[in-house]
């Protein structure tokens, strides 16, 4: 029992010693301790000193203590800003010119020049060209010539890989078929921004989420656009596609739509109304071929809009496809005589159109008679 009592420290003496030490040291804190705590675990008495430390380790003197009044910092000092680096436009190195001759293993050149080889390659298909690209490095460069790839067909592929997309950009085709593929909006936007010379684009069977990339991609050379059987596309989506981009430059008065230069537009199987046709007449005035087949809302008022005196398509339409439009009746047939340049009129599978009325239209014609190779199909030789 005595031994246990001897082991207990004298707390009164230690506390008095610590109080004296704290009074003499002015409640200074150690660097390893948390802010606001003394060495012995107690907080310093407020009346014992006129100085105090803040969280940043600085001392501030209270008013009335005789020292200068310092402002309390609200928080830790922010880190220094990194130095601003100069920004430069990084461009790829210039592409080396194509070799004009084919070097042989013996050190000499093949007698046929590059132009002659390209004429030979033009008779090959895509599969044969890919085989030729594996022969040598010179043939591989020659086979990337865009004159050998006027059209690329990637239709009905479930997924498009990055090497496939980069291969399309390297070949720079004039016509690209992406129908019924799983192309995403990001992939399509990446492609269109790098194919400024694209003239024909086929996107039939794709989703509107992917096709909406057309609203933010400039296509100055586009002449044919195929949007047949697009999923979930209605008047609001088509309006977004036809209207000019909203982010025009300040002071720019020209409201040029995205499809101003398109000559052939295929919109088969879409839920279009007369409101969409009015936008089409306004923002696509150079159409010479229009496909509205199997559009459930196209009827006699739609034909009246297309052939009205104020319609720009009245003088430009050459091919018009209205097959499968069940709302068309015999009353709309005389309206087609307003189109003098019409050469092909497809009215097949229109239930309310009689073969006799179509035969009378074929005999009269706009400026001349039509021939009917099939029932309700009117053709005229140019």
pLDDT at 263 over 60: yes
pTM assigned to the model: 0.71
3-state DSSP percent of the chain in helix, strand and coil, to 5 = 30, 10, 55
pLDDT of residue 71: 56
Write down the mean pLDDT value for the chain: 80
pLDDT of residue 235: 86
Burial class (CB in 10 A: 0-12, 13-18, 19+), 178: buried
Lowest mean pLDDT among 39-43, 267-271, 376-380: 39-43
Q: Average pLDDT in the 206-229 region?
A: 92
Lowest mean pLDDT among 64-68, 167-171, 239-243: 64-68
Cβ(317)–Cβ(339) below 8 Å: yes
pLDDT of residue 75: 64
Q: Average pLDDT in the 161-179 region?
A: 94
Which segments within the chain are labelled E, that is strand? 51-53, 59-61, 151-153, 175-177, 200-202, 224-226, 264-266, 289-291, 319-321, 344-346, 371-374, 377-379
Residue 231 — very low, low, confident or very high, per pLDDT cuts 50/70/90?
A: confident
Q: Which helix (H) or strand (E) holds 84?
A: none
Give the percent of the chain with pLDDT over 90. 56
Phi/psi of residue 379, nearest 5 degrees: -130, 150
Strands 151-153 and 59-61: unpaired
Q: What is the pLDDT of residues 186-195, one digit of tens each?
A: 999 999 999 9
Cβ(360)–Cβ(337) below 8 Å: no
pLDDT of residue 123: 95
pLDDT at 54 over 70: no
283 C-beta neighbours (distance < 10 Å), count: 19
Give CA torsion, residues 301, 304, 306, 312, to 10 deg: -140
Residue 59 CB partners (closer than 8 Å, separation 6+): 51, 52, 53, 70
Cβ(99)–Cβ(115) below 8 Å: no
CA distance 372 to 36: 99
CA distance 14 to 12: 6
Place of tokens 């140019």: 382
Q: Could you tell me which of 156, 182, 153 has the C-alpha nearest to residue 167?
A: 153
Q: What is the pLDDT of residues 274-294, one digit of tens each?
A: 999 999 999 999 999 999 999
Q: What is the pLDDT of residues 102-151, one digit of tens each?
A: 888 888 888 889 999 999 999 999 999 999 999 998 999 899 999 999 99
Residue 176 — very low, low, confident or very high, per pLDDT cuts 50/70/90?
A: very high
Query: How many whole angstroms from its chain centre is CA 41?
Result: 63
Q: Average pLDDT in the 8-18 region?
A: 43
Cβ(304)–Cβ(332) below 8 Å: yes
- In the chain, which residue ranges form alpha helices assigned H by DSSP? 2-7, 11-25, 114-121, 126-132, 137-142, 162-171, 185-192, 208-211, 235-242, 274-283, 300-306, 355-364
Q: What is the pLDDT of residues 352-369, one digit of tens each?
A: 999 999 999 999 877 778
pLDDT at 48 over 50: no
pLDDT of residue 234: 83
pLDDT of residue 69: 54
Q: What is the pLDDT of residues 56-103, one digit of tens each?
A: 444 544 555 555 555 555 567 777 776 665 555 555 555 656 788 888
CA distance 298 to 63: 86
66 C-beta neighbours (distance < 10 Å), count: 8
pLDDT at 226 over 90: yes
pLDDT of residue 106: 81
């Amino acid at each position: 029992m005595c031994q246990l009592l001897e082991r207990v420290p004298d707390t009164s003496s230690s506390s008095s010693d610590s109080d004296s030490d704290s009074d003499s040291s002015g409640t200074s804190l150690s660097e390893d301790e948390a802010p606001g705590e003394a060495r012995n675990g107690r907080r310093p008495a407020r009346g014992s000193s006129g100085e105090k430390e803040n969280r940043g380790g600085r001392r501030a003197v209270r008013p009335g203590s005789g020292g200068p009044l310092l402002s309390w910092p609200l928080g830790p000092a922010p880190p220094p800003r990194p130095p601003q680096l100069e920004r430069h436009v990084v461009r790829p190195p210039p592409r080396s010119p194509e070799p004009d001759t084919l070097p042989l293993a013996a050190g000499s050149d093949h007698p046929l020049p590059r132009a002659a080889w390209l004429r030979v390659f033009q008779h090959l298909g895509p599969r044969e060209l890919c085989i030729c690209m594996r022969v040598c490095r010179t043939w591989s460069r020659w086979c990337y010539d865009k004159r050998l790839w006027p059209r690329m067909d990637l239709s009905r592929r479930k997924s498009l890989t990055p090497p496939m997309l980069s291969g399309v950009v390297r070949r720079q085709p004039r016509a690209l078929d992406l129908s019924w593929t799983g192309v995403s909006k990001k992939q399509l936007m990446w492609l269109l921004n790098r194919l400024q010379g694209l003239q024909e684009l086929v996107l039939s069977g794709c989703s509107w989420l992917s096709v909406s990339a057309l609203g933010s991609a400039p296509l100055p050379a586009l002449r044919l656009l195929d949007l047949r059987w697009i999923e979930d596309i209605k008047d609001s989506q088509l309006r977004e596609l036809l209207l000019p981009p909203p982010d025009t430059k300040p002071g720019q008065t020209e409201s040029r739509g995205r499809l101003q230069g398109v000559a052939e537009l295929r919109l088969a199987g879409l839920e279009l109304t007369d409101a969409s046709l009015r936008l089409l007449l306004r923002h696509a005035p150079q159409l010479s071929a229009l496909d509205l087949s199997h559009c459930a809302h196209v009827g006699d008022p739609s034909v009246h809009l297309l052939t009205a005196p104020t319609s720009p398509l009245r003088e430009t339409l050459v091919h018009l496809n209205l097959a499968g439009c069940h709302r068309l009746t015999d009353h709309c047939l005389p309206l087609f005589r307003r189109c003098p340049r019409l050469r092909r009129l497809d009215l097949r599978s229109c239930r309310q159109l009689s073969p006799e009325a179509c035969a009378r239209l074929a005999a009269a014609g706009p400026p001349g008679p039509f021939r009917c190779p099939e029932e309700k199909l009117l053709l005229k030789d140019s």
